[in-house]
Each structure stands twice: as C-alpha cells, then as structure tokens.
C-alpha cells in the first residue's frame, strides 16, 4: 500500500500511471471487499475515465496538483451526480442525486479518482457502522471487530488498502474515532472550513466533512483540496486557506501542549491510557512544553450532544416523507403513506434519535432540554477558549477503548460513551486529528488526538506530523489474505 504522495511521485517518475494504480485498487476491492465490506457502490467506469484523463496530464507533464490520479473513496453521505447516495438507509437506497457536493466537485477538479461510495452508520448516526441498513463493515485489523463509525467504511477502506485516501464526516467523532480504531489518520476541520453543500445533513450545526489518509501528509493534501469558502453554504467561513503542507516539517519545539485532566477517566482501557501517555512523552522529548489544563464542562458534553444532535436530526429528517424522493410505501392517504414509509425506511437507531429529538423540541420541554443544552454547549466552547489562552494544542486519547466486537455494545448508552473524548471538539467547532500511537497486546490500533484553535489546522497537522516522524505506528498495515 502506498500513500497518495508516494503514488503521485511515482506517476511523475513514470514508474506507474493513474490507470495502473486505479486498476490495482479496483482489483483489490474485488478480491477483498467481501471480507471487509467497506463499499456500498463501486464506480469502476467513472474511476477508469478519471484515471485516463490523469494519465494524459502526466504524459504531457502537466498534472493538476498533488492529488491528480489519487484513488479515493467517499462516505456515502455526499451527493454524487449520477451515482446513488444512500446514507446506508433503506429510505435512500435508490436515490441518485442530480448534482455533486462541493467537496466532491473540488476533489474531481484536483484530479482525484473516485473509486466508489463507502459504508456508514445510517444517516451518520452511530459509532460502529453496525447501524448501516445495507451491509456489515469489518475492521481490517480484526474482522470480528467494528471499524468505528459513523465513517467506518472509508476508514476501513484506507486501512485495508482499498483506497489511498478517503472523505468522511465528523458530527460527534465520526472521523477521528474510526481513524483510531482502524489505525489511520483522520482529521476533523474547523466548522465551516469545509463546505457542507451537498452533504446529507444529520445535525447541521455539528456536521464536519474531513479527510482520511495513511499519513499526515496525505491528510493535509486532501484538506487543502476541499477547504475554502463556498457561497452555496451559509455556514462556510470566508477565510484564506493556507498551504497545509508548507509547515508540516517544522516540528513541535516551542509549542505548548495542554493535557486535560478530564480526558483520562476512570474506566478507560489501560492500554489506551498507557500508549497515549507514552505518545505525550514523545512530543515532550521533541521539544514541546506540557501543561495540565482543565475542561470542566467535558463531563456534561456527552449528554448535551445527545440533546442537540437528535433535535437537529428530527428537523432534518422530516424531509423524508415519501413524497419528493426516496422510498415510498403506498398507504390509504398521505398520513398513512408517510407513516408506513418512515417505518419501513428508517432503522432502529435513526428512529430512536428522531423520537429523542422530537421530544426535546416539544412544547413544554424545549427550555428544559434543548435550551439548557445550548447553554452547556457555550460552556464547553468557553472551556476550549480558556485552555487555548494558555496552550497551543490539546493532546489526549481519541477514544477510551479500542475497537470492540460486533454486537458487543448493544446497549445504546454503552455505544454513546465511545464518543466521550471526541464530542467536545465538535460542539466547539475546533479542529482535531487522530493519529496512530500504538497497538494493544492483541494487535488493535490506538489513536492519539490533537485539538487546536479554530482555523489552526496547520498547527494541528504540524504536531501530528512531528509525532508521526518520530514513530512508526502509521507504517503498520493489517494483513488480509
């Protein structure tokens, strides 16, 4: 398995071509994806056409940029013109959008080759990809375990060598958590740094599109291609986009890293805590200064998230009524048709969150639940503001445990607790990355999380690269027969 930058360097040297690389990935998907289950749709014809166009550009010595000819996968939550976009739900199983999401369009203009659309938890609601209505995705490091979620498909695809890079979304940790579980790099940008236009919404104030890569350099290149203001998205930030690769090799000497007390909690996996603390010591050895910080609202962030996110989901998913597009189950009248359509089209977890959201928004409960949750969200954001007045980055575990077995967390509360270390950054809109920082004795990946100030992805990536350069965890690959 090669990184994107290794592949594109090989293209420039004439050692291989985008078409040859694309053929190799498609062949590997055909051979191995029955085991992994990363893909919902493979777009071989579209991939071949894009690869041939990239071949010609390299032949003429005029590639479009650092992603030209890079074979990637997209979480099946991004609209793709002429290619079905299912959100891993029965209600959208046959939906074919008439337009591309902004991020899809930008990747295409950068020359990236879309291999297909990857599996996910239905409508991005989950932490294991077990809530997909369409297929099971398995962790390439141990096929009896989950890849994380909700972006488990693209994370598993990158880890298994079924794509050189990927694009997912992070609402409560859905890029960083599967990145940690699958042993790859996953970045959640600042809210508004990457356009949400054409992203099928789960929770509109929390959804963050972002990249997966085999290393930090690839992740930085992917972010550079998709970041930037988009007039089609009212929440898009109109701010300059730096060259995220320019400062990657500057190291961490002189950076102040905050270690939050609340992210090392009772009950977390001892091997996870040990690996993360060793990783923090590595960063200290590279010249960073460590400082204890406190984020006191963290214990309340999880409960707050599970009020705000379901409330926004309840509103966003009201559009799936069987009238305009998607699944329609015939009924006696409009109300009967809508009820039967939603009963058949939505899975159990989606229904659970719609009911939670509808309840907390209902008359008599809005102020007690949703209104209070928004106030606590402000406190979470203020915690980060106070911490970043003292430190440049926050360093912590990505998850409290490693990948668990399929079916192990049938209790929804146990599943929700997986997001305890990732949710606060989503609620605050600040950027965060997960990088591999070790393995358990049984061979399962562990993730280190770095969180930065708003719009300071460059420093987050710089520190992640410094750690990566000093270790070899990111070079390890799962063995798949």
Q: So which residues are the catalytic ones?
A: 75, 150, 174
Task: Identify the CA nearest to 180 among candidates 117, 115, 127.
Answer: 127
Contact by Cβ (8 Å): 78, 101: yes
Distance CA 45, CA 162 (A): 17
Token pair 């010249």: residue: 287
Report residue 71: phi and psi, to 5°.
-80, 120
Contact by Cβ (8 Å): 163, 154: yes
**Helix or strand or coil: residue 72?**
strand
Report residue 73: phi and psi, to 5°.
-125, 155
E strand spans, 337-428: 393-397
Neighbouring C-alpha atoms within 13 Å toward the C-beta of 311: 21
**Helix or strand or coil: residue 259?**
strand
Q: How many CB atoms lie within 10 A of CB 234?
A: 10
Contact by Cβ (8 Å): 267, 399: no
Task: Identify the CA nearest to 119 among candidates 161, 163, 87.
Answer: 87
Angle at 398 between CA 267 and CA 458, to 5 degrees: 155
Distance CA 153, CA 224 (A): 22
Q: Write the DSSP symbol of residue 463.
A: H
Distance CA 95, CA 324 (A): 11
Distance CA 373, CA 353 (A): 16
- What is the DSSP secondary-structure string of 37-96? --EEEE-HHHHHHHHHHHHHHHHTT---STTTT-EEEEETTB-BTTB---TT-GGGTT--
Report residue 450: phi and psi, to 5°.
-120, 130
First to last CA, the chain: 14
Residue 388, C-beta contacts closer than 8 angstroms, at least 6 positions apart: 394, 452, 453
């Amino acid at each position: 398995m090669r990184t994107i930058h290794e592949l594109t360097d090989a293209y420039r040297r004439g050692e291989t071509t985008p078409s040859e690389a694309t053929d190799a990935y498609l062949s590997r998907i055909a051979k191995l994806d029955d085991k992994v289950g990363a893909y919902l749709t493979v777009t071989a014809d579209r991939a071949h056409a894009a690869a041939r166009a990239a071949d010609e550009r390299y032949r003429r010595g005029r590639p479009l940029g650092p992603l030209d000819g890079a074979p990637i996968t997209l979480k099946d939550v991004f609209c793709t013109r002429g290619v079905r976009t299912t959100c891993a739900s029965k209600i959208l199983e046959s939906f074919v959008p008439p337009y591309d999401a902004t991020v899809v369009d930008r990747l295409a203009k950068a020359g990236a080759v879309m291999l297909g659309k990857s599996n996910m938890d239905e409508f991005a609601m989950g932490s294991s990809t077990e809530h997909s209505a369409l297929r099971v995705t398995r962790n390439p490091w141990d096929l009896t375990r989950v890849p994380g979620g909700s972006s488990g498909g693209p994370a598993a695809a990158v880890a298994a060598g079924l794509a050189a890079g990927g694009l997912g979304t992070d609402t409560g940790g859905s890029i960083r958590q599967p990145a940690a579980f699958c042993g790859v790099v996953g970045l959640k940008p600042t809210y508004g740094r990457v356009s949400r236009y054409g992203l099928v919404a789960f929770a509109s104030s929390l959804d963050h599109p972002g990249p997966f890569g085999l290393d930090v350099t690839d992740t930085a290149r992917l972010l550079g291609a998709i970041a930037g203001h988009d007039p089609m998205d009212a929440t898009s930030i109109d701010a300059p986009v730096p060259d995220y690769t320019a400062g990657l090799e500057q190291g961490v000497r002189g950076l102040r890293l905050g270690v939050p007390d609340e992210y090392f909690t009772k009950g977390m996996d001892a091997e996870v805590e040990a690996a993360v603390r060793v990783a923090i010591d590595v960063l200290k050895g590279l010249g960073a200064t460590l400082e204890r910080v406190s984020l006191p609202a963290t214990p309340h962030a999880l409960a707050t998230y599970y009020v705000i996110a379901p409330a926004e989901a309840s509103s966003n998913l009201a559009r799936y009524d069987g009238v305009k597009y998607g699944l329609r189950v015939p009924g006696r009248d409009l109300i009967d048709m809508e009820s039967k359509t939603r009963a058949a089209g939505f899975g159990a977890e989606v229904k659970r969150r719609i009911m939670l959201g509808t309840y907390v928004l209902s008359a008599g409960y809005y102020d007690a639940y949703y209104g209070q949750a928004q106030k606590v969200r402000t406190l979470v954001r203020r915690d980060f503001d106070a911490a970043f007045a003292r430190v440049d980055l926050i360093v912590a575990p990505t998850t409290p445990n490693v990948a668990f077995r399929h079916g192990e967390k049938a209790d929804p509360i146990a599943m929700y607790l997986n997001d305890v270390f990732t949710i606060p950054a989503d609620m605050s809109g600040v950027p965060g990355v997960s990088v591999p920082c070790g393995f358990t004795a049984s061979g399962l990946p562990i993730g280190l999380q770095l969180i930065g100030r708003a719009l300071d992805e460059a420093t987050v990536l710089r520190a992640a690269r410094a750690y990566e350069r000093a270790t070899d965890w990111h070079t390890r690959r799962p063995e798949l027969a």
